[in-house]
A = this chain, B = another copy of it.
Amino acid sequence: MSDALTELHVRLAEISDLNAAGGLLGWDQQTMMPVRAAESRAEQLGTLGKLVHERFTDDAIGRLLDAAKPAPGSSDAALVRVTRRDWKKARRVPSELAAELARAGALGHQAWVEARERADFGAFLPSLRRNVELKLRYVECFDGYDDPYDVLLDDYEEGMTSAEVDALFTELRAGLVPLIAAIAERADAVDASVLHGDFPVEGQRALVRRVVERLGWSADGWRLDDAAHPFATSFGPGDVRLTTRYDPAYVGMALYGAIHEFGHGLYESQVDPALARTPLGEGVSLGVHESQSRLWENVVARGRPFAGWLHGQLREVFPERFGAVGEEAFYRAVNKVQPSLIRVEADEATYGLHIILRFELERAMIAGTVALEDLPEAWNARMRQYLGVEVPNDAVGVLQDVHWSGGDIGYFATYALGNLIAAQLWERARADLPDLDSALAAGDGNALRGWLGEHVHRFGRTYPPRELVLRATGSAIRVEPFLAYLNAKLRPIYGLD
């Protein structure tokens, strides 16, 4: 290894350690920290973020990248490519603007919490205006893009463009709207009431633990904690942390939430440990990450084979609730489709329309083709048009999501891209693993875990997301497999055709 490459590794390892420390401060903040520590924790997070930024954007990193000379095709060649990309992007943003974005995001979050409580979009409008202004200034730091929104997208999904997403979403919407309309005609065909009722949290904890352990969670390298807004994170090999939240009146929340986060955690846990403490040692993009969480949550755990096993677990933990409920009824219940107001509570089919709505509004905000004060009206009109739902107030409408408050504009699309990629991976994995259904019917995710490790996880950020998807699925991101999957599952459940 050249001296420059060695020195680059040393510096990146230190930055990775600082990021891990910052990650732990964040995890702790959401799971363990006493409330009175909020202010000092914000200072600590700010200092870590500033230090990482300073050390990463240092001129020396650029010199080392130029001098590194990794062997073509080697892991170090990928390291240099990825680091150069991140370094160039980070260097383009003046530190005052970066600090201003962070500050406006923190203030915006606070304003949003209060505005949402009072369902008062007007109270949030000045913060949103500020965030959009700053994002436009952020976009101006870059060049060579076709659409300003591309700059924002690229932060979450490297190399993805607005035009591509637009084409995918047009096709997706065209497939979803008639399917959802047909299901709406037969809404009573599925009864999900068995999932609602009295589910003591201690029982749910035992159930969730049992399920994730069967999937591959183990106490020697993972944690599972409670959080108000569930997430997964990792601080290095053998340290993956999931969170979930428990609703004592609905058993689906914690169970499917934990399986979702398990998918994220599994991705991080199966990155090649040789990539640890480098920028390559983590999931490659939000879209690919979300494909993992949704594959396990929806495709596996709401699929017929695994749902059978899951039903057996529910019967054991809650015999009085599930004793008289058959596998098939349970399977139908967890796949109920119902247009609703709230994205995070949406089913697999309507979810995409919630995302398309947000993507369209974000593009309009950045293009300046919608006045920000008109957003609630634009939101409500699309909810009516796409989902046939009337929005009673902004708290359950335009104010429902946290993202814009913190300045995260360009993020939403990755959720739907994750669904598309998950369906493509699933198609491929099923072709490669003929016994997959019978394994999942026994709750055994071993083969799928191995397949994902081999084709997706181990590479970390070695390949750009576009190349990784191509290698793993044989094609670019496509809509057709997802629509085929949804139709194949939902049409029989709802007795369509």
Does the CB pair A47–B235 fall under 8 Å?
no
Q: Which residues of B contact A28 (CB under 8 A)?
A: 24, 28
Bound Cα distance A33, B33 (Å): 15
Q: Decide if A223 is an interface residue (CB 8 Å cutoff).
A: yes
Q: Which residues of B contact A21 (CB under 8 A)?
A: 21-22, 24-25, 44, 47-48
Which residue on B lies nearest to A46, using beta carbons?
Answer: B17
Does the CB pair A223–B40 fall under 8 Å?
no
Q: Decide if A41 is an interface residue (CB 8 Å cutoff).
A: yes
Q: Which residues of B contact A221 (CB under 8 A)?
A: 34-37
Bound Cα distance A240, B37 (Å): 9
Does the CB pair B22–A276 fall under 8 Å?
no
Which residue on B lies nearest to A14, using beta carbons?
Answer: B47
Binary per-residue interface labels of chain A (366-397) against chain B in the complex, 1 for a CB within 8 Å, 0 otherwise: 00000000000000000000000000000000
State the majority secondary structure of interface residues on A.
Answer: helix
Instruction: Check A14/B51 contact, CB under 8 A, given A219-B34, A220-B34.
Output: yes
Count this chain's copies in the assembly: 2
Instruction: Check A223/B20 contact, CB under 8 A, given A43-B277, A236-B44.
Output: no
Q: Decide if A113 is an interface residue (CB 8 Å cutoff).
A: no
Closest beta carbon of chain B to A33's beta carbon, Å: 7
Which residue on B lies nearest to A35, using beta carbons?
Answer: B220
Binary per-residue interface labels of chain A (7-41) against chain B in the complex, 1 for a CB within 8 Å, 0 otherwise: 00000011001101110110010001111111111
Bound Cα distance A277, B28 (Å): 19
Does the CB pair B40–A237 fall under 8 Å?
yes
Beta-carbon contacts under 8 Å, A205-237 to B: 219-223, 235-237
Does the CB pair A17–B43 fall under 8 Å?
yes
Q: Count residues of chain A with CB under 8 A from any CB of chain B.
A: 40
Instruction: Check A20/B40 contact, CB under 8 A, given A14-B47, A14-B51.
Output: yes
Instruction: Check A47/B24 contact, CB under 8 A, given A40-B237, A239-B37.
Output: no
Q: List 27 A-B contacts (CB under 8 A).
A: A13-B47, A14-B47, A14-B50, A14-B51, A17-B43, A17-B44, A17-B48, A18-B47, A18-B48, A21-B21, A21-B22, A21-B24, A21-B47, A34-B221, A34-B240, A35-B220, A36-B220, A36-B237, A36-B239, A37-B221, A37-B237, A38-B238, A40-B277, A41-B236, A41-B239, A44-B235, A44-B236
Does the CB pair B239–A43 fall under 8 Å?
no
Does the CB pair A32–B220 fall under 8 Å?
no
Which residue on B lies nearest to A37, using beta carbons?
Answer: B239
Q: Which residues of B contact A47 (CB under 8 A)?
A: 13-14, 17-18, 21
